[in-house]
Amino acid sequence: MGHITKDAWVPSVTLRVGAEGVDVAALLLGTDGRVRGDADMVFAGQPVHPSGAVRHEQASLVLALHEVEAAVERIVIAGEADGGVLEAAAPDGAAVASYAVTGTGDATAVAFGEFFRESGGWKFTGLGRGHGSGLAGLVTEYGVEVAEEEPEPQPVVCGPVPLVGVVKMPGQPLPAAGGPLGEPEPTPAPAPTGPFPPADRPYELVEGWEFGPVFEPFVAEGLGNDVIALDDRVGNGPVLVELAQEGYGYLGLFPLDRRNKDEVDFLFNALLPDFLGSAAAPVPKGRPLRMRLAAENRWILRVKPLAAARRLEGTLHGYGPEALIYLGGGADLRVEFKGDPRNGRGYVGIQSYGVGGRTDGRLPDMDLLLNEIGPLRQTVPVPRGPQLLKFNAEGPWTLTVRELD
């Protein structure tokens, strides 16, 4: 079905991978040749891998090969098509791999090729393997579970939409009632119905938090796509970015590099209705932070000191992704996630960064505390603070922290 030079070396950098006219998907595989869970499939309906190393943008994929987890041995690129030309380009635009697949007429989905590890680096090889049962049938060969029932009708939205025929199975159903040791579980707050409160709302800095600069807040409001540029009031180090959008529609926020192109690590990339979220954003050294905003509706954005993030203590309710500060000792964190309000599923994950004693403004290595799909009630351990927690949830949630004796 294709033509290729086998096993070509590719640079271990950030690659953009796509095939014209095909909405491609990525499958991150372990040593057994299968996905480890639902989150290891990245496509339009699930646009971000929890590690941040793979993301889906405008029908193409961005692969940060140098950031892929060590447990991932192969990344298969597939799409709902009978053929096409798969191409991978380096950050400077130079082509590093190309593979042409000629359709046979009976295939409705194809595995174009795969990136795989060898001798500490990465190689690419073409596969050209067609499948007659569509992408939903193809991905099951790699361990992806596909629901047999038809998905419920969804509201019409702009931007990326769930891949036709591929419906993620819930990761863990909610218990009927009650919490640990018979305690009642708190109920997550309902989805909000509008953007953040007015820009001049008061806020407080968390006492004892010293990671990141302190400055006067920056506020921007608008409708649709825009570029947000901070002024020189912000020093070096991470800042807190709060963003909200009214109604249904795609919302993405991408820091820009020196060449005015998207950085690999995005801040937001979601289809959550009435989006409401916060994230920690690094400020480039020696230049102002610039961000590309992709929005469908009215939005408001605020940039504040990271110390203005909510402190994780007791019980917190929220909706969507949020940066949280934890200053306590080792603790158990009870997570209740109701699921995406559009389909009852959705992603939920927690990344933890121990920032104690950090003065250079750079985040240390990340600990992955939670990485699941679908409604759940789980308890995960949280290391001793100070910790910055990147909590990502596609819907309403409740967190309850219980410090250890």
DSSP class of 89: E
Query: What is the pLDDT at residue 200?
Result: 58
- The pLDDT assigned to 372 comes to 86
Q: Which of 91-100, 180-189, 202-211 has the lowest mean pLDDT?
A: 180-189
Angle at 251 between CA 248 and CA 254, to 5 degrees: 180
Total count of residues recorded for the chain: 405
Q: Residue 193: pLDDT above 80?
A: no
Q: Would you state the pLDDT for residue 328?
A: 94
Of 224, 333, 239, nearest to 281 by C-alpha is 239
The pLDDT of residue 155 is 36
What gap in Å lies between CA 49 and CA 26, rounded to an integer?
10
Displacement of CA 38 from its chain's centroid (Å): 13
Q: Per-residue pLDDT for 221 more than 70?
A: yes
Say if residue 106's pLDDT is above 50. yes
Torsion of CA 371, 377, 381, 386, to 10 degrees: 80
Q: Which has more pLDDT, 346 or 298?
A: 298
Residue 331 near residue 401 (C-beta atoms within 8 A): yes
In the chain the domains, ranked by start, together with CATH numbers, are 2-140 (2.60.60.30), 218-308 (2.60.120.380), 311-403 (2.60.120.380)
The C-alpha atoms of residue 299 and residue 320 are separated, in whole angstroms, by 15
Report whether pLDDT(216) > 70.
yes
Q: What's the pLDDT score for residue 134?
A: 86
Position 272 pLDDT exceeds 90:
no
Alpha-carbon span 222 to 292, nearest angstrom: 13
211 vs 189, residue with greater confidence: 211
Residue range 281-290, pLDDT digits in tens:
988 888 888 9
Match 């095909």 to its residue by tokens. Answer: 22
Q: Check pLDDT > 50 for residue 19.
A: yes
pTM passes above 0.75: no
